[in-house]
Structure 1
């Protein structure tokens, strides 16, 4: 029985394990997670129709739909004037065109669906407490080396160990992630604290000069996810640092009345400085390949980071349904099939952060005029390349 190793037990790593296990009756997968337990931190996450298509291929689509809030609209608002700029309906014609809903879910709920499926799969072993720091390989196999010197050998190694991937460091060697200069503040609050007139079943984005504010319901509608981002030139990466409520409110003095009412509801804020990397052409080295944020980390502005990892998992699972001697060629094909789409998404996410969410003055006025002139069908056409993808698996 062929042994496939996965470094990293996050969303991408578990999805890859499912993709391989479901397509390969003769393969066994071992997921090596650095933490002492398989768990997921974080708050809300947006899932486009392309993500649900991938989740269906992985066998967990229904489980995630049950945990998700199916959103009615995406709204782009002028955050300083409270005026609506553009609305993209997500029911009716949208679902007919793209074949699946647009939904939001607590990251932990998505993770739990993947974790439950992995635990139920005989071909998957979940091994916590193992930090993979490097790899060695020859013509017959690859060995994942951990920080304690423990070694795991298989026919392939998938690096799904995130934006600061140790596997990427050895394979690509492109140093630390690029610090975007944008700081995001996140809070999750009970929906019962939100005034009834503000309990919208939408993903709403308030755009302002060098900032934006997003909110949407999660956890079956029982909580509201708040995320406010400021282009403040931050130079150092920050991950989940507590932030005082007064500090967060002070960062967004230009907010209009409605958006400020929502921001003021936030509590127990945490902050991150957003990072990504430039696209690279090659994610493979013989029997080793990267997946998800280890391969193509992107800013949150296209709401597609997790969606791309789920697509990766479907593709790599289908391609590794092959004899062991074809492993290197199959990984190279995976790289080739996924590269252009993920690179485009990385760059579009950056562009959205500057041209769509954060302009000011005449540039903001031009944005408002351009976006407000688009019909629902126009908006669907613009996202079709992203939301309409149905990866084969």
Structure 2
């Protein structure tokens, strides 16, 4: 039995702990906050994410609160014209083996947390922010900001896009702000007019901006986000923003997205950041996963799914591993995940610029490319991503 230390108690960290514990190892999870919880709003889960959740043993629990959507819709935010709709109902589910769903972050985090709490070999430590780590040929020692130390056979940095573990491991500088500001809010569904409710992920694309919305929390809330390509360079995270400010930044809307935007209250603001794909995120007994390893923009809706895949693959490659094999096994994990995760990072960037935000002739070229696509064409385009089974060979 190995003893793994996991830095971060979010979705990726708990999924990693569960995967390792399910494969017979002891795990200590260090969470910097004083409570294990998730902030934020909606997450989209494609079939590849559900495949991973099933292997972790929590797929059914996540589905209980998930909204299984029928369509992914892209519309023109200025005219209301439908550009393309990808059905994700019966035929999609038959092809990919799982549904496409949307959930509130806590409805994904909660089942992972409860599963970890029910395993004796998972120790969940709150208020334990990682300050630094040291390693030698046999062990890794983590020191927290309050001076405690934890020693194990390996360390997994699952501490998110602003990873302390990555900063020491790779020393590759600050995040890359992509120049896009996102405003997020949740709207109680009873405040949403019936004619505006739809069991779908709907994205309204405008020149240099877009608006996306879908139901979460079992359909009790509408997740609403508005993104503006404004050249922002400051890495803002979760700053409260006035309702009037949000409305002023999105003029000339079609009446429907405009009406939805006016429903929003309690807005918060982020500046979206990512990093370039890297060839190495593992050194000896320390590795990274999820946003710490391959931070990506939201536009491919794959951040959580890729973290879940990481967790399953890491659990698989460390199954039955003796302490002396940790370095080689972690290298195998990185090799198994590097190309796929990097491809998704670049896809997310491309979607943000070429699919959601073009203007003028570029927008017309996009529309001409999308309109002829059939349901089968659309499913073919996402098959490499949504259908790929996870495991040591993924």
Q: How many Å separate the matches in 1 of 2:131 and 2:299?
A: 30
Q: Does residue 350 of the first structure (1) align with residue 349 of the second (2)? A: yes
Deviation of 1:2 after TM superposition, in Å, equals: 2.5
1:1-393 matched pairs, under 5 angstroms:
1-24=1-24, 27-321=25-319, 322-392=321-391
The secondary structure found in structure 2 opposite 1:129 is: coil
Q: How many Å separate the matches in 2 of 1:186 and 1:157?
A: 33
Q: How many Å separate the matches in 2 of 1:218 and 1:140?
A: 45
TM-score by length of 1: 0.98
Deviation of 1:257 after TM superposition, in Å, equals: 1.0
TM-score by length of 2: 0.98
Q: How many Å separate the matches in 1 of 2:148 and 2:174?
A: 26
Structure 1 residues not aligned, in runs of 5+: none
Q: How many Å separate the matches in 2 of 1:385 and 1:251?
A: 36
Q: How many Å separate the matches in 2 of 1:76 and 1:99?
A: 24
User: What is the CA RMSD across the aligned residues, in angstroms?
Assistant: 0.8
Q: How many Å separate the matches in 2 of 1:303 and 1:367?
A: 20
Deviation of 1:324 after TM superposition, in Å, equals: 1.4
Q: How many Å separate the matches in 2 of 1:255 and 1:349?
A: 24
Q: How many Å separate the matches in 2 of 1:265 and 1:35?
A: 31
Deviation of 1:9 after TM superposition, in Å, equals: 0.6
Deviation of 1:129 after TM superposition, in Å, equals: 0.8
The secondary structure found in structure 2 opposite 1:318 is: helix
Q: How many Å separate the matches in 2 of 1:99 and 1:270?
A: 36
Q: How many Å separate the matches in 2 of 1:319 and 1:192?
A: 47
Q: Deviations over 1:292-316 (max 9, x none)?
A: 0000000000000010000000000
Deviation of 1:320 after TM superposition, in Å, equals: 1.0
The secondary structure found in structure 2 opposite 1:63 is: helix
Q: How many Å separate the matches in 2 of 1:20 and 1:149?
A: 26
Deviation of 1:383 after TM superposition, in Å, equals: 0.5
Deviation of 1:372 after TM superposition, in Å, equals: 1.1
Q: Deviations over 1:120-174 (max 9, x none)?
A: 1111110011111211111111111111221110001000011111111111111
Q: How many Å separate the matches in 2 of 1:390 and 1:23?
A: 18
Q: How many Å separate the matches in 2 of 1:157 and 1:126?
A: 15
Deviation of 1:254 after TM superposition, in Å, equals: 2.2
After alignment, is 316-325 or 345-354 more displaced? 316-325
Q: How many Å separate the matches in 1 of 2:62 and 2:371?
A: 33
Runs of 4+ in structure 1 off by over 3 angstroms are none
Q: How many Å separate the matches in 1 of 2:32 and 2:184?
A: 25
Structure 2 residues not aligned, in runs of 5+: none
Deviation of 1:224 after TM superposition, in Å, equals: 0.4
Q: How many pairs were matched up?
A: 391
